[in-house]
Amino acid sequence: MIRPITLVTAQFADIPITDLASKASKWGYDGLELACRNDHLDVDRAATDKGYAEGHLEMLANHGLKIFAINNGLTGQLVCDPNTDARSDALVPKKCRGNADAKREWAVRGMINSARAAKNLGIKVVNGFTGSSIWHMIYSFPPIREGMIDDGFRYFAEMWNPILDEFDRCGVRFGLEVHPTEIAFDIVTAHRALEAINHRDAFGFNFDPSHLHWQMISPTKFLKTFSDRIYHVHIKDAKLSLDGESSILSSHLNFGEPGRGWDFRTPGRGEIDFEEIIRTLDAIGYYGPLSVEWEDAGVDREFGAAEGYEFVKAKQFAPSNRVFDEAFGE
């Protein structure tokens, strides 16, 4: 069974969705992972207006494309983020800016509506972020008193369980992209996040190996560890460039800047072993979409999207249903 190949639209949010759909179809994609931004998808409207949702599906179908998942990462980030600086102001309506509680309330409503929008679109997965109230405690200085980290995981459960209740009612699941600044950023914290919400089925992972690779975590070990929680897969590459001068913490250098200790790459242009990832996905029985995400500051985004599709297509293969030497017994 060959998995569908889709394109994350977040990095193309300035392109009207009809124009991007036309481009993606020509590049060969099977579908789009719609970002909940601009005209790509208005989740508040899609949650209440089935005609709007059906119109999106029809428009994509006219280009030979489908939706398998939507992505509302920017909204989900603000559910648990402290929301106390201008970075989060940029993600919310003007009326919420400068008000941490207003930003959080807006985000909770947005994630609840994401589940409802997914239901109206006839899909089963919403990808995104959770934010974290304890990410700033990643290094233990000033000293972190006993219980502070536990409090952060309890807060995550307090904020996300009511959202996940709506996911359950809608028959939709949430896929957290395990990622720095989220409640789960590696295998240890992913376990803790699941424990915090009592391993409820509505919560799983959008597997993105790029965020694991630069932290020096094994992507295939993550897949094997959470084999029943892989609800969606991103295909994005990364490369370490540590030179004894810059650090894994990126030195406050922006993506693509010389001297940075690591960077994202177009699939196939970094260090991730996608051959092993595909084989591991076969082994755990994941046959959902492989969603290409362009975030390569050194490669033109349209070139990267087109090349990304070809790379993933070439890596796909049907798994064997027999051991090679079985033929000798026939």
**Residue pLDDT, tens place only, 120-151:** 999 999 999 999 999 999 999 999 998 999 99
* Domain contains 18: yes
Report d(CA 185, CA 177) in Å as an integer.
8
> What DSSP string describes 127-143?
EE----SSGGGSS--SP
Token pair for residue 166?
Answer: 């709506």
What element of type H or E holds 121?
helix 100-121
Residue range 312-330: mean pLDDT, rounded: 74
Average pLDDT, the chain: 95
Query: For residue 82, what pLDDT band results from cuts at 50, 70 and 90?
Result: very high
* Within a domain: 329: no
Q: Given the DSSP bridges, would you call strands 262-265 and 125-128 parallel, antiparallel or unpaired?
A: unpaired
CA distances from 210 to 64, 117, 293, 294 (A): 29, 28, 10, 11
**Half-sphere exposure in the Cβ direction for 192 (13 Å, CA):** 18
pLDDT in tens, 37-65: 999 999 999 999 999 999 999 999 999 99
Handedness of CA 254, 213, 181, 109 (dihedral sign): positive
| pTM passes above 0.85 | yes
Contact 59, 37 (CB under 8 A): no
Please tell me the predicted confidence (pLDDT) of residue 55: 97
**What number of other Cβ atoms are within 10 A of residue 4's Cβ?**
16
Compute the half-sphere exposure of residue 303: CA atoms within 13 Å on the CB side of its CA: 7
Q: Is residue 327 part of a domain?
A: no
- Any domain includes 328: no
Residue 325 lies in a domain: no
Alpha-carbon distance values, 209 to 15, 68, 97, 121 (Å):
26, 19, 33, 27
pLDDT tens digit string along 180-216? 999 999 999 999 999 999 999 999 999 999 999 999 9
CATH number of domain containing 113: 3.20.20.150
Assess whether pLDDT exceeds 80 at residue 313: yes
Q: Is residue 253 part of a domain?
A: yes
Query: Does some domain include residue 326?
Result: no
Query: 184-223 burial string, b = 16+ CB within 10 Å, else e?
Result: bbbbebbebbbebbeebebbbbbbbbbbbbbeebebbebb
Domain ranges, residue 128: 5-320
With a cut of 80, say whether residue 322 has pLDDT above it.
no
Give how many domains the chain has, as a whole number.
1
Residue 330 in domain? no
Quote helix, strand, coil % in the chain, to nearest 5.
Answer: 45, 15, 40
